[in-house]
Amino acid sequence: MRFIFKTDYDQDIRLAKHEGARFWYSALVIALLLAPWVLPEYWLAQLTFVLIYSIAGLGLMLLAGFTGLFSLGHAAFLGVGAYTEAVLTNAGIPFPIAIVGAAGLSAAVGWVVGLPALRVRGIYLGMATLAFGFIVEEGLARWESVTGGNSGLQVKPPSVSGWALSTATEFYALCLLITILATLGILNLLRSPTGRAFVAIRDSEVSAQSMGIHLAHYKTLSFALSAALAGIAGALYAHKLQFISPDQFSILQSIDLLLMIVIGGLGSVHGAFLGATFLIAMPQAIAILKDYLPASIGQAPGLQSVIYGAVLVSFVLFEPMGLHGRWLKVRTYLQSFPFYRKGMFKRQKSFQKSDRLR
Amino acid sequence: MSAILSAQKLSVRFGGVLAVKDVSFEVQAGEVFTLIGPNGAGKTTVFNLISRIYNPSSGTIDYTGPTGTLRLTDHAAHEVAALGIARTFQNIELFEFATVLQNLLIGRHTQRRSNLWEDLFFTGRVRTAELEAREKVEEVIEFLELQHYRDTLVAGLPYGVRKVVEMARALCAQPRLILLDEPSSGLNVEETDDMAFWIQDICQELGVTILMVEHDMSLVSKVSDRVLAMNQGEVLALGTSREVQNDPGVIEAYLGSVSDVASLRRPVALTGTGTGAGTGTGTGASR
Amino acid sequence: MIQFFQMTLSGISQGCIYGLIALGFVLIYKATETVSFAQGDLMMMGAFGGLAAMTWLGFPYWLAILSTVAAMGLFGMLLERLVIRPILGQPAFSVVMLTIGIGYVVRGLITMLPNIGTETHVLPVPYKDEIWKMAGLVINVEQVSVIGATAILCLLLFALFRYSKLGVAMQAASQNQLAAYYMGIPVRRLNGIAWGLAAAVAAIAGLLLAPITFVHANMGLIGLKAFPAAVVGGFGSLPGAIVGGLAIGIIESLSGFYLPDGFKDIAAYVVVLLMLVVKPNGLFGEQLRKKV
């Protein structure tokens, strides 16, 4: 059993709540730093993808998990970031400026997309973001002079003060650095008044207003920040693939992002990382699984779709708190052994109430 | 004593219904002012007008802050807290998936001094502000005896505790005027007594003006300086608690007129010690 | 001018398909206040079901239609029983993700069918390729059948919700499930009926659409265009769903003809955004406000 004996307020504000947490997270960071020398190139590339998707996941988690605004077209911001980065880098602009440009333009688009949020809620907001997603995707495809349209765009490697980061290890290090900065940024936000304002908006808009939280300001801010993170992720994505086309930022990509945060665990920072790991690991797992299945099932084109759908359905039905929730349950079991009670995390039977009157 | 809040001829119409009709009253600084009336009288609507959640169809509200008097009806809902007005809600509006501590810290939102970028980097200034906020919140926790529930998610708390947390959250904003909407509804006798003490403490020790809506007449008599009775959106009577409870119009609104009651009266066996008819101390709406 | 009418007609017919799928959404929304992203894929399944009935089982046309619709209705009820019922009461977003998952599974399973899933098929309907010539217009009977069937279905459903106890009970259950339980409304059975009805409507949409677009596994993506239709009409309104669908269909058709390339694909979404700005609750939606 772990009891955290608190002696000063700082302990509640600190990021690492106790010695154990500090140890394990440091160990994780060190392991990630050593990865290029330990992992074969293929797995390093996959790990890079995990980091990139984690950044996008952090953005969507901030918007959907912490502010309660659901965006069904988030891939659009990914696309805006990717194309901005591609265009700027191809024009010779160094990476630090290009990525700021990508993040900034995505944030601006995010801000615009957030404007409907001020008037509509719930499913209507989802529809508005879905609509924006389609429009941006189409826009990227039509604006051929800049984006190359449907035939796609080659992307040069990122360059920092003349030095091009073209090897896998260098790029991985860049992604790791940006991921750590993004995570720290989000964690800082969440322990500060801004983050609490987001949570307030999620739980009760009326009383948030009565506490002095300006809804319009914070909602559009949440969209902008979320889009900026997605833009950064998109920029890194563009460099990783070295070739981008509009169909990579379609509704299917948006659904993948949502899948990621739902399976990871809505409302937790860990969830973004767990979800990203899951998203990248799934195709690998399916590929391995195919060898064990009879040819008629294993080679069928729809298999991936079925497995994705089945996993999503299972998680929503049986593990609504996602992978993070499952981890919390396991950890509680281990910590309170042998006093763990089966009903500890039991969901209350809930009855549906009208969302329109929430 | 000067007026901290002054409503002049407030009216609000929802569709065809005139929920509040020409309501005018003044709340003096440092007093406990209570709105009473049967359900549907428009009391919470008046609160929502003051909080600027609703817009009045006509009439104005003036508020006297430290910088002078301003027209409250010109301000938006999110500006009200910064002016020093906090409120609680009739059907608890807490942040369900946050802990009590986080709820109270959110209550201090108007006291924040850092902007987005400082928050992102969690500068020393933000850290100092956070520690200070925590200290202030702890004072409120101690005042209202919420130490046990500090780290509990609101979603798991019993109703009585939630009511107290709502009040605590309103206090954390360091308001000059606090609007309490039915503070004792759902509380048992003991909890209501505690509530009476807290209201008196808030008023006398912290110097906060209290404007409240209440149904429990014993609580009203115990704590209020002045009472305003409303019925069907209109003002019925204004005065001390005793005066209002004896006002014939108020009695009629709560108990009905003699002719109404006569038809409901059932024959009761006389016990010989006198008739059972109550005297005019008005028990008001029974709980 | 003739072109305008021609385009409008095809827009109306396309709009009816959107409207039918949107009708399915609204049905489920009215009964359970959840949004189902699986309607498009259920439509596709209905089309494949009809194909199986007509070619593999060799049923005559009307028998095939009825059996497919009935089968899909049962499937919808089964789906509700197994998958949706356990999670009602969870946040709306979770339910949406669940229905997306269902859509993926249905699409995947159909695609996995050896030889059938990956091919495009023709649905052998009796009125295939028939054309009427009227006042200079070339009218596709397939399009007319869509319009006609939609009109009839609308009237039936409208009567159901307005006049029957079942309809009122469904609406009650969607607004406050606990209170509905207290009032003795068989909430779970109603939810099953609502989902069954929605699946049946989706099947009808699929069978009507199949002669026009052919039967293939990606038919369901049209479902995404039906969302704008439901939003434009107002999510809680059955006539709104159809009106919204028609509006989207006509605007799409006309913009495909009069506006430059690419506008046709996004016309629906631009309309949605305009609608949300101008009239957020849709044309027929209700304006509800929480009382604090």
Better-scored residue on pLDDT, B45 or C3: B45
pLDDT tier for residue A270 given thresholds of 50, 70 and 90: very high
Whole-number pLDDT of residue B277: 46
pLDDT tier for residue C33 given thresholds of 50, 70 and 90: confident
Question: Which amino acid appears at position B185 of this protein?
Answer: S
Secondary element (H or E) of residue C24: helix C2-32
The CA radius of gyration of chain A, in Å to the nearest whole number, is 21
Closest CA to B49 of B83, B7, B79: B7
Residue C89: pLDDT above 80? no
**Which residues of chain C are at the B interface, by a Cβ-Cβ cutoff of 8 Å?**
292
Full-model pTM: 0.89
**Residue B251, burial from CB neighbour count under 10 angstroms (0-12, 13-18, 19+):** middle
**Using CB atoms, which chains have 3+ pairs under 8 A with A?**
B, C
- Cβ-Cβ pairs closer than 8 A, A with C, add up to 169
Whole-number pLDDT of residue A354: 57
Whole-number pLDDT of residue A333: 85
**Domain ranges, ordered by start, for chain A:** 35-335
Is the peptide bond prior to A157 cis by the omega test (within 30 degrees of 0)? Answer: no
> Could you tell me if B36 and B284 are in contact, meaning their C-beta atoms sit under 8 angstroms apart?
yes
In chain B, which stretches have pLDDT less than 50? 273-287
Distance from CA of A155 to the nearest CA of C (A): 25
Question: In a mutagenesis test of the C interface, which of A112, A119, A305 is the best target, namely the one with the most C β-carbons within 10 Å?
Answer: A305
- The pLDDT of C94-118, averaged and rounded, is 87
**Residue A1, burial from CB neighbour count under 10 angstroms (0-12, 13-18, 19+):** exposed
A173-202 pLDDT per residue, tens = 999 999 999 999 999 999 999 999 999 999
User: What is the CATH code of the structural domain delimited by A35-335?
Assistant: 1.10.3470
B48 touches chain C (CB under 8 A): yes
A122-156 pLDDT per residue, tens = 778 888 899 999 899 888 888 888 777 787 888 88
Q: Of the candidates A203, A206, A215, which has its C-beta nearest B98's C-beta?
A: A203
- Distance, in Å, from the CA atom of C41 to the CA atom of C222, rounded to the nearest integer, reads 9
Q: Of the candidates A262, A307, A353, which has its C-beta nearest C176's C-beta?
A: A353
Whole-number pLDDT of residue C290: 58
Distance from CA of B81 to the nearest CA of A (A): 5
Whole-number pLDDT of residue A278: 94
Q: Of the candidates A195, A203, A206, which has its C-beta nearest B96's C-beta?
A: A203
Q: Which positions ≥6 away from C3 have C-beta within 8 Å?
A: C257
A356 touches chain C (CB under 8 A): yes
Whole-number pLDDT of residue A1: 57
| ipTM confidence score | 0.86
The CA radius of gyration of chain B, in Å to the nearest whole number, is 21
B116 touches chain A (CB under 8 A): yes
> Could you tell me if A110 and A227 are in contact, meaning their C-beta atoms sit under 8 angstroms apart?
yes
**Using CB atoms, which chains have 3+ pairs under 8 A with B?**
A, C
Whole-number pLDDT of residue A168: 84
> Could you tell me if B53 and B14 are in contact, meaning their C-beta atoms sit under 8 angstroms apart?
no
- The pLDDT of A315-329, averaged and rounded, is 89
Whole-number pLDDT of residue C288: 58
pLDDT tier for residue C53 given thresholds of 50, 70 and 90: confident
- Distance, in Å, from the CA atom of A153 to the CA atom of A93, rounded to the nearest integer, reads 17
Residue C47: pLDDT above 70? yes
Whole-number pLDDT of residue B219: 92
Whole-number pLDDT of residue B284: 41
Beta bridge partners of C140: C131
Whole-number pLDDT of residue C215: 85
Whole-number pLDDT of residue A273: 95
A70-96 pLDDT per residue, tens = 899 999 999 999 999 999 988 888 889
Nearest residue on chain C to B14, alpha-carbon basis: C289
**Do the Cβ atoms of A212 and B95 come within 8 Å?**
no
Residue C79: pLDDT above 70? yes
Q: Which residues of chain C does A128 touch, with a Cβ-Cβ cutoff of 8 Å?
A: 272-273, 276
3-class DSSP state for residue B57? coil
Q: What is the mean pLDDT of chain A?
A: 87
Residues 106-125 of A with CB under 8 A from B: none
Q: Which residues of chain A does C95 touch, with a Cβ-Cβ cutoff of 8 Å?
A: 316
B91 touches chain C (CB under 8 A): yes
Q: Which positions ≥6 away from A233 have C-beta within 8 Å?
A: A52, A53, A55, A56, A59, A78, A81
Distance from CA of A117 to the nearest CA of C (A): 10
**Do the Cβ atoms of C90 and A316 come within 8 Å?**
yes
